[in-house]
Every structure is written in structure tokens, then in C-alpha cells.
């Protein structure tokens, strides 16, 4: 009996120790997997997912714009972080990435629901909106009285019974229609559409390809300004809070965002940003413009030539477009204080060497610029075999001249850095070529350079290129 008691005690101790070890291991795993502000600050980037539409995030005349984009820029500045923004038209995929800590936040106007609150944490409300039924007016609506037209439109939610309504998959619109079925005691044929934004479904209603969809009121009314044959007067919900979302573990990030939201709401800055995208003639003009990336896929008037000559240098046309934007903002009449001119901002001697002048057409100017890029590529190819890495050296040479870039490479080699890698290697010495400690050395042949300009030049072009890749086919 005594022996059995000892065995029992021994087994109990083993079980307790095993349980403690398992708990500690589990706690350690949770701690390691936690994704909160200190980890984000360590990486120096705020990674956000938003949606690609005419209000949240888009390219206009080559420039990234959008309501969510501007708010996020302001938030990233508040957190002293670099903003890394990506787009995702699948809510399921976006939710999954947030839960798995593949991003830091969802900067999408999400309706706050109990089901979603179990999966992630919501910020303080960014705004309020109602859900609106989007439907097409009858063909001859302009000649009809308002009273006559009302006969063709759904004004009572009860009349949605038996109708087919297409909505974004896994959206709050779907949840609302499910609830509405119970309220009216009849069925609605709800079709969930994957990889579509609400605005894309609105466009399908306008074309007559689907009968009805649901959208937030501010988005529906903005779309009506350039689709006047749409009706957006029937609300199917009360006003609902909308917010951004963060991972459940990101408690410190949530608290910091909430402080920012509290200061931003009701401010003059927020009013300016909101009105810029949801009110006024400019919003309508922007959405009707051929430079609106959503509708046209265009970056500039000169895309045709940029595409043609980017092939000559084996570049992605969006990379060259980013360079042209950086140089001239797509203004063929642009002139710099130093004498550079045209879309590619070539200096007179460089332009002449590659077949252009200050009276050349935009196409000839782009052609000459591409020849200059090809010449730079040829001179760097043997020493920097990696094509993607070489691009950054070409850009720096385009801006500052190859001599200064070769100086920076020599400095990198002499200081134990890799002369064939730009980031955290050669870029440091370009940046410091205005410092006598670096430029006043025997191995430096081209002397002083205001390196901040070249450093930023490369970074801005590459960052814009990444945005173009995400938003432009």
C-alpha cells in the first residue's frame, strides 16, 4: 500500500511538471507570436491592407491618392513608422492575413459586428454610414415625374422579397440582408461575389448586368455623381459605426491608434480629407478623368511611349513611368534651374548625345532618356550582375552621374560593405558624400555630392514603382 502511494505521488509530480512545462511552452509560443507595437516599431514599418477603389486608394495622374491612404499616411507619421500599403479585394483573404499577423491592420471601412469582434479588435469608429440599395432607374427616367418613377423602384424593404441582390462576399451587406430576410419574413436571393469591390458591383448595376447591390451611403452617392441613372435613395439599415481592425494581440497598437483617432475626428484636417474624396466637383471630375487608374489603367498621357521604350531597356514600364513622374510630373514643358528639360529632364549635352533637343517631341525625349538608361546599364552590367539590384544604381547614376556612384561603391568596398548592393551598403555612402569625412579621401575622384537628394530620389522612385505594380496592370 505504501509502495502504491509513493507511485501515485511520483506520477502526480510528473503530471504537474509536464503540465507546467506545457503551459510555459504555450505561453512562450503566444509571446513569440504576439504582434504588437514594439515588434512593429522594431521593423520600422506599419503594414496595412486597404481596398482599391475610387475613394480608398488609387492612382490619379501618376500620384497615389485616397481617403484611407491619406489617413494612413497621417497615422504612420504619428507612429513614426514607414507606411507599407497593399490592396486586397477579398475580405476573406484580408481577414486571414490579419489573424495570421501577415499585416498589422485592415484600413477598410468595416462594419462592427459581434462575429468579427471574436476574430479581431476594432479601433474607435472612423465614421458612420447607412447601407444603401443601389438600383437602376428606368430607361426613360429623365422624362418621368418623380411619382411615376417611384413605381419602378424599390422603396420598401418588404419589396426585396424574391429579388436577387449581389454583394461583396463575407461583407456586412450580406449579414444585413440575412437579417432583413428574417425581418420581412420572406427570402431574398443573396449572391456573394468574391474578389469584387462594392464599386465594381455598382458599375455592373449601371450596365444592367445585375439588378441590385448594396453599398455604404457615401460611396453610393459619390458613384451616382458619375452614374446619374442609378438610384441610391433606399436605405436598408440604420446608421452603423465603421472602424479599422487590428490583431487580437495588438493591444498597444490599438491603444495608440485610438488616441490618434480621437484627435483626428472632428479636426479640420479630417474634414479636408473627407471632403476631398466624398464631396464637391473635384471628386466627380477625378472619377470621370482618363487619368483615374481604376477606370482606365492609365498613369499618364505618355504611357504609349513609356511602354514602347521601356522594352528597349528591358524595364517594367511602370518603373520607367515612376522615373518620369519623379523627373517632370509628366510635364513635357518642365525645365529645371540647372537646364534639364522635357519629360526625362535630360541635360543639354546628354540630350544631344542621345538624339534629343529642347524642341524635341515627348516621344523623342523619352527615347533619348531610354538610350541614356541603356548606356548606364551597359556600363554597370559586368560589375553588378543582379538586374534588380542594378536598377537602383542606374537610377542613382541618372540623378547624380555615374562618377559619384562609382565613388560611393569604392567607399563601400573600403569600409567593408558590399559595393554591388544598394540598400544599407552603397546608399549610406551616397547619403554621406556631403560629409568631408567621406568625400575628402584619395579614393574619391568626384568630390562633394549633396547625397540626400540622390538617396531620396532612388527611394521615391522605387516606392512609387511598388505602388504602381499593386494598382496598375
Catalytic residues: 327
Helix and strand tally (H, E) in the chain? 22, 13
- Which grid coordinates belong to 114? 459581434
CB 161 within 8 A of CB 138: no
CB 54 within 8 A of CB 220: no
Give the separation between CA 96 and CA 31, rounded to whole angstroms.
20
For 292, the 3-state DSSP assignment is strand
Phi, psi of 314, deg, nearest 5: 60, 45
Task: Classify residue 436 as exposed, middle or buried by CB count within 10 Å of its CB (0-12, 13-18, 19+).
Answer: exposed
Give the separation between CA 136 and CA 321, rounded to whole angstroms.
38
Q: How far is CA 219 from CA 48, 156, 439, in A?
A: 21, 21, 55
Give the separation between CA 189 and CA 211, rounded to whole angstroms.
12
Torsion of CA 326, 51, 38, 74, to 10 degrees: 50
Give the separation between CA 321 and CA 369, rounded to whole angstroms.
12
Q: Is the dihedral of CA 388, 302, 456, 411 positive or negative?
A: positive
CB within 8 A of 373, min separation 6: which ones? Answer: 313, 315, 320, 394, 398
CB 211 within 8 A of CB 187: no
CB 220 within 8 A of CB 202: yes
CB within 8 A of 367, min separation 6: which ones? Answer: 305, 309, 355, 356
Torsion of CA 379, 382, 388, 391, to 10 degrees: -10
| DSSP conformation letters of 239-277 | -EEEEEEE-TT-HHHHHHHHHHHHHHTT-HHHHHHHHHH
CB 426 within 8 A of CB 400: no
Amino acid at each position: 500500500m505504501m509502495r502504491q502511494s509513493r507511485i501515485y505521488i511520483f506520477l502526480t509530480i510528473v503530471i504537474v511538471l509536464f503540465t507546467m512545462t506545457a503551459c510555459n511552452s504555450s505561453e512562450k509560443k503566444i509571446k513569440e507570436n504576439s504582434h504588437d507595437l514594439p515588434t512593429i516599431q522594431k521593423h520600422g514599418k506599419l503594414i496595412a491592407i486597404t481596398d482599391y477603389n475610387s475613394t480608398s486608394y488609387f492612382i490619379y495622374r501618376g500620384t497615389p491618392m485616397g481617403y484611407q491612404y491619406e489617413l494612413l499616411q497621417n497615422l504612420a507619421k504619428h507612429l513614426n513608422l514607414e507606411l507599407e500599403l497593399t490592396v486586397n479585394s477579398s475580405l476573406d483573404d484580408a481577414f486571414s492575413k490579419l489573424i495570421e499577423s501577415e499585416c498589422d491592420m485592415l484600413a477598410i471601412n468595416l462594419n462592427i459586428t459581434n462575429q468579427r469582434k471574436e476574430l479581431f479588435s476594432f479601433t474607435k469608429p472612423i465614421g458612420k454610414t447607412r447601407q444603401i440599395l443601389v438600383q437602376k432607374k428606368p430607361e426613360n427616367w429623365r422624362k418621368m415625374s418623380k411619382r411615376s418613377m417611384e413605381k419602378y423602384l424599390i422603396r420598401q424593404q418588404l419589396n426585396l422579397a424574391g429579388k436577387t441582390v449581389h454583394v461583396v462576399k463575407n461583407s456586412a451587406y450580406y449579414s444585413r440582408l440575412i437579417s432583413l430576410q428574417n425581418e420581412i419574413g420572406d427570402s431574398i436571393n443573396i449572391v456573394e461575389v468574391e474578389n469584387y469591390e462594392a464599386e465594381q458591383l455598382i458599375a455592373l448595376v449601371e450596365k444592367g448586368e445585375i439588378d441590385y447591390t448594396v453599398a455604404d451611403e457615401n460611396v453610393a452617392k459619390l458613384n451616382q455623381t458619375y452614374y446619374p441613372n442609378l438610384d441610391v435613395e433606399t436605405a436598408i439599415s440604420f446608421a452603423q459605426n465603421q472602424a479599422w481592425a487590428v490583431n487580437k494581440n495588438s493591444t498597444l497598437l490599438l491603444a495608440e491608434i485610438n488616441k490618434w483617432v480621437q484627435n483626428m475626428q472632428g479636426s479640420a484636417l479630417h474634414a479636408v480629407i473627407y471632403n476631398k474624396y466624398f464631396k464637391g466637383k473635384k471628386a466627380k471630375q477625378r472619377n470621370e478623368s482618363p487619368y483615374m487608374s481604376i477606370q482606365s489603367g492609365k498613369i499618364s498621357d505618355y504611357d504609349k511611349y513609356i511602354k514602347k521604350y521601356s522594352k528597349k531597356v528591358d524595364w517594367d514600364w511602370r518603373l520607367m513611368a515612376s522615373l518620369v513622374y519623379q523627373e517632370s510630373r509628366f510635364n513635357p514643358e518642365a525645365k529645371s534651374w540647372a537646364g534639364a528639360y522635357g519629360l526625362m529632364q535630360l541635360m543639354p549635352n546628354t540630350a544631344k548625345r542621345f538624339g534629343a533637343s529642347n524642341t524635341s517631341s515627348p516621344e523623342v525625349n523619352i527615347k533619348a532618356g531610354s538610350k541614356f538608361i541603356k548606356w548606364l546599364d551597359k556600363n554597370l552590367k559586368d560589375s553588378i550582375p543582379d538586374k534588380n539590384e542594378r536598377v537602383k544604381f542606374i537610377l542613382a547614376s541618372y540623378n547624380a552621374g555615374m562618377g559619384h556612384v562609382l565613388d560611393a561603391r569604392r567607399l563601400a568596398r573600403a569600409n567593408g560593405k558590399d559595393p554591388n548592393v544598394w540598400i544599407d551598403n552603397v546608399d549610406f555612402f551616397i547619403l554621406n558624400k556631403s560629409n568631408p569625412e567621406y568625400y575628402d579621401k584619395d579614393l574619391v575622384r568626384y568630390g562633394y555630392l549633396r547625397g540626400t537628394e540622390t538617396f531620396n530620389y532612388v527611394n521615391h522612385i522605387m516606392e512609387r514603382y511598388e505602388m504602381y505594380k499593386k494598382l496598375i496592370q
